[in-house]
Amino acid sequence: MSAPDTDTLFAPASGFGRAAVAVIRVSGPAARDVLIALGGGVPAPRRLSLRTLRDPADGRVLDAALVAFFPGPNTYSGEDMAELHLHGGLAVRAGVLAALARLPGCRPAGPGAFTRRAVLNGRLDLAEAEAVADLIDAETEGQRRQALRQLDGALSRQVAAWRAEAIDCLAGAEAALDFSDEGDVDDAGLDAALFGRAEALRGAIAAALADGRRGERLRDGFFVVLAGAPNAGKSTLLNALARREVAIVSDVPGTTRDAIEVRLDLGGLPVVLVDTAGLRETDEAIEVAGIGRTRARIADADLVLALVPPDGAAPDLGAAGARTLTVRTKGDLRPGSTEGGLTVSARTGAGLPALLDAVRLEAEAGLGAGDALITRTRHRAALEAALAHLDRLLAGAGRALPELAAEDLRLAVRALGEVGGHVGVEDVLDRLFAGFCIGK
């Protein structure tokens, strides 16, 4: 662990720009002194009180504000905190921030500084802190539900239970190692029980990992690639679904050279539509590069919409691993058509609701309802490491040698501890909180 930071931090906790109210958050040992210096006193804990804020340097009035004091350790950061609820003008906020910067022991907070202190003070574990970031970034209902579930400790509680079981198994292995020459330790019976528990633990972790990466995909979005020949109607369909002019539409083949992404909220799920370069044989260098990117996006997609124009055939998608839906475009040019499946017209809007419903159902099947246990690559990597150590324990010489069994279990315990930041926390703190907003 690095040396503790004893400065008192302050930062706006509300959005920047003109607003009705601006909230400034203060956290640290001088939080009480800040209220005395600016407001002349400390209100009753956890109660808003009207105060005239003055600049301690010259006594001039800064604002009439509501202030609150929250004594630690039962606060968000685990230390004394204060809040200043100001009028939301830019000059008001700037004046108060400048006064705070002049107070002894106070400094502006960096990104995620308050949540970082919450982790270091034991108010949140690392997985819960990541959930705070996910909740702030949530754009859809499904992402919000998933983030709240993680913030409530869904992953942390499960991993803690797995870790406790691994520690119990480790204690058994170490007992066999330390007391193997004692008459009251039955090596064979102990080994059978230990490996049975380790196998059950291994199965539980493996089951959690076999989730199709639903949690990570819900955070990032369900990617739907529009693929087809030039002039199949990809860009026109993208604009119609996005309800705005996102992509350039032209009768000239090969207009789209690079992928264009549009994010949609379908039934509370994040869906990313990707317009791509038309698939065809060409010698034009830039278009060839665009087609190469199209095939790469098709390979990585969650769903591919294979667009078929009235006078064309289904596109050659190559080695597409995702599910594919065939969509017949330009339905207004197919009078009296009896073709089955999805037929749409971006010009008239016919078939678009059915297409969106079909995409939503695919997204629901792929992402779930925000109930995934694993939501980040870091979680998955730690659990996969624990699983690898348990696999080695169950398959290797550890069944005969307690020394090896104890080492594999010790490494599994460590890997599980990395999920909540019980070990190796300094390795990820800087990277995690760099992505937070100021004031959180």
Question: pLDDT tens string for the chain (440 positions)?
Answer: 445 578 999 999 998 888 999 999 999 999 999 999 999 999 999 999 999 999 999 999 999 999 999 999 999 999 999 999 999 999 999 999 999 999 999 999 999 999 999 999 999 999 999 999 999 999 999 999 999 999 999 999 999 999 999 998 988 888 777 655 554 444 443 467 888 999 999 999 999 999 989 999 999 999 999 998 888 888 889 899 988 887 656 555 555 556 788 999 999 999 999 998 888 777 777 777 888 888 888 888 999 999 998 887 788 787 666 789 999 998 888 776 667 679 999 889 999 999 999 999 999 999 988 889 999 999 999 999 999 999 999 887 556 677 888 899 999 999 999 999 877 555 555 655 666 666 67
pLDDT of residue 1: 44
Q: Tell me the residue type at 65.
A: A
pLDDT of residue 404: 84
Q: Tell me the residue type at 355.
A: L
In angstroms, rounded to a whole number, what is the distance separating the alpha carbons of residues 418 and 413? 9
Structural domains of the chain, ranges and CATH numbers in brackets: 8-123 (3.30.1360.120), 131-211+374-421 (1.20.120.430), 218-367 (3.40.50.300)
In angstroms, rounded to a whole number, what is the distance separating the alpha carbons of residues 270 and 396? 44
pLDDT of residue 174: 80
DSSP state of 142: H
The answer to whether 401 touches 187, Cβ cutoff 8 Å, is: no
In angstroms, rounded to a whole number, what is the distance separating the alpha carbons of residues 72 and 440? 17
CA 76 remoteness from chain centre: 20
The answer to whether 346 touches 249, Cβ cutoff 8 Å, is: no
